[in-house]
Amino acid sequence: MNCEYLLDKVFTVSEIGQIIKETVSEMFYGLNVEGEVCNFRTNQSRHWYFSIKDKDGSLLNCTCFAGNNWKERRPENGELVVLKGSLSFWPKGGSLTFNAESIRLKGEGDLRLEIEKRRAYYKSLGYFDDDIKKPLPENISTIGIITSAEGAVIHDIMNVTKRRAPSINLLLFPSLVQGKGAEENIAMRIRQANNFSPCDLLIVCRGGGSEEDLAPYSSTAVIEAIHDSILPVISAVGHDSDFPLSDFVADLRAPTPSAAAELVTEGAYKKRLMLERMEKELHDDIKNILLDKKLWLSSLKMNTAFMHKKLERYKSIILSSYELRRIIRSRMNELSYEKAALDDRLNRSMEERNRRIRDRLRESSSQLSALMKDITLKASNRLKENEVESRLVVMELFRNKKSQAQLLMSRAEDLSPLSILERGYSIMTDEKGRIVRSISQIEKDDDYTVRLSDGYVFVKAEDKNEL
């Protein structure tokens, strides 16, 4: 910009306003300004308007537009803040404002840095190592709680433990949870609990708050006290997104105080569930056993009833032993009488039989000798008769055979061809000696021989005629 031109020219207000606006925005950006908040207000478009001032009375009007302030914590009047942003001139109002892009409480950044440094330091000392962490006791009878006696936290813990493990005792160590003196107070409570061990473990806790509010839980005093604690310590500070250093040095971190209460009652809660399950199982078991036996019993009952009926039936049939004895005795008597009678009869019949046999024997022997005599006589007679008879028969037979033989001899003679020749027949043979039986054997002029009974005739065939 030409200076001479600037000096000669008469500007309009808007021109000069525009120049100031451009100059300011070009030169004053990325600035940090600190001051105490006053006149804070907001409007419907959710922009924040406030001023910051100094002790000497200087004032700077500030804005923080909705596009920036959504991620910021809303400042309260009187708070000492550090703003980061740029100066901006508004020509229409002729006002100069500081447009804040971020707002933090004074000391906040320092705190975070300091905690980070402390974290690295204690980590290097091995305070956060897993191998020094103590396990929670299995059986917990009293829980020590280090927190504010007022507020929701102790109330929440009481409710959760009551619901899950109503028999576990609670011992509250009331402590400051933020602000001045809090860190030393918390550390003292941790030491006090360890000095007397009136509980099985400690929950160091508080509800959500600003980084500054939670700062005592990252303090050296609290870190050291937790580290030295013989009782297991659970750190449950703020919300799940908060990680004060107590979370790292403690034996266990819980995201919230209620979660810590759930963690410590887990064992007892599980035991209760297990006991409930076992109780049910036992009940079912005995129920099954009883049902089984009941069924068995009823089947036995049925059998017994059946047997009883059977017995009743038999009872009517079976006699008493007295009756039985009586019957047997009388029966035995009867039998002995019978036996005597039978013996008697037997003896008598035996005698009779012997006698009869003797008689018969005698009779038979006399009959036998008579018979023998008779047979001998008859046999000798017959022998004699037979001798005569057989001689006659033989002679007759001889005669018959002789006449038969004569007859046969004469018949044999008749049959001889020579005897036939005697009766006038003759036999003719050809030259070869063959007997001529037919005219066909005769050949004319052949010679033949004719035998008669007492000689031969030699003939020649002069002619032949068939009959």
Partner 1 sequence: MSFETDLKRLEEITELLKDENTGLEKAIELYEEASKLTKSLNKTLSSLERRIEKVTSDDEFELEKEEIAEDEA
Asked whether position 279 contacts partner 1 by CB under 8 A, the answer is yes
DSSP helix/strand/coil, 48: strand
| Site residues (CB under 8 A) for partner 1, limited to 293-312 | 293
Structure token pair of residue 115: 């905690």
CB of 270 to partner 1, least distance (A): 10
CA–CA distance, 173 with 188 (Å, rounded to integer): 10
Report in angstroms how near the CB of residue 300 gets to partner 1 at its nearest: 13
Q: How far is the CB of 175 from partner 1 (least distance, A)?
A: 10
CB of 169 to partner 1, least distance (A): 4
Does 154 interact with partner 1 (rule: CB under 8 A)?
yes
CA distance 242 to 145: 19
Segment interacting with partner 1 (CB under 8 A) among 118-126, 239-247, 282-290, 316-324: 282-290
Question: What radius of gyration do the chain's Cα atoms show?
Answer: 81
Q: Would you call 100 helix, strand, or coil by DSSP?
A: strand
Nearest to 172 by CA among 154, 153, 190, 184: 154
Q: Please identify which residue in 66, 289, 327, 412 interacts with partner 1, judged by CB under 8 A.
A: 289
- Nearer to partner 1 by Cβ, of 237 and 268: the residue is 268
Q: Which of 6, 198, 306, 311 binds partner 1 (CB under 8 A)?
A: 198
Using the minimum distance from each CB to partner 1, give the nearer residue, 154 or 260: 154
198: Cβ–Cβ under 8 A, 6 or more apart, which residues? 142, 144, 171
Cα 280 → chain centroid:
22
Can residue 168 be called a binding residue for partner 1 (CB under 8 A)? yes
Please pick, from the candidates 59, 113, 230, 275, the single residue that binds partner 1 as defined by CB under 8 A.
275
CA distance 417 to 442: 22
CB of 244 to partner 1, least distance (A): 22
Q: How many residues does the chain have?
A: 467
Strand order through the sheet with 455-460: 427-429, 447-452, 455-460
Q: Is 149 in the site for partner 1 (CB under 8 A)?
A: yes
Per-residue contact track with partner 1, 170 to 189, x per CB under 8 A? xxxxx-------------xx
| Rounded (10°) angle between helices 152-164 and 257-317 | 20
Candidates 275-283, 344-352, 368-376, 379-387 — which segment interacts with partner 1 by CB under 8 A?
275-283
Distance of CA 59 to the CA centre of its chain: 83
The yes or no reply on residue 39 touching partner 1 (CB under 8 A) is no
Q: Quick one: how far is CA 421 from the chain centroid? A: 131
Task: Rank residues 282 and 407 by Cβ distance to partner 1 and give the closer one.
Answer: 282
> Contact between 371 and partner 1 (CB under 8 A)?
no
Q: Which of 59, 230, 278, 418 binds partner 1 (CB under 8 A)?
A: 278
Q: Residue 81: exposed, middle, or buried by beta-carbon count in 10 A (0-12, 13-18, 19+)?
A: buried
Options 68, 88, 99, 192; binder of partner 1; rule CB under 8 A: 192
Binder of partner 1 out of 21, 47, 162, 227 (CB under 8 A): 162
Question: Residue 437 is encoded by which pair of tokens?
Answer: 């039986």
The owner of tokens 């941790």 is 190
Question: Counting Cβ atoms within 10 Å, is residue 335 exposed (0-12), middle (13-18) or buried (19+)?
Answer: exposed
Site size toward partner 1, by CB under 8 A: 39
Residues contributing to the site for partner 1 (CB under 8 A)? 139, 142, 149, 154-155, 158, 161-162, 165-174, 188-189, 191-192, 195-196, 198, 268, 271-272, 274-275, 278-279, 281-282, 285-286, 289-290, 293
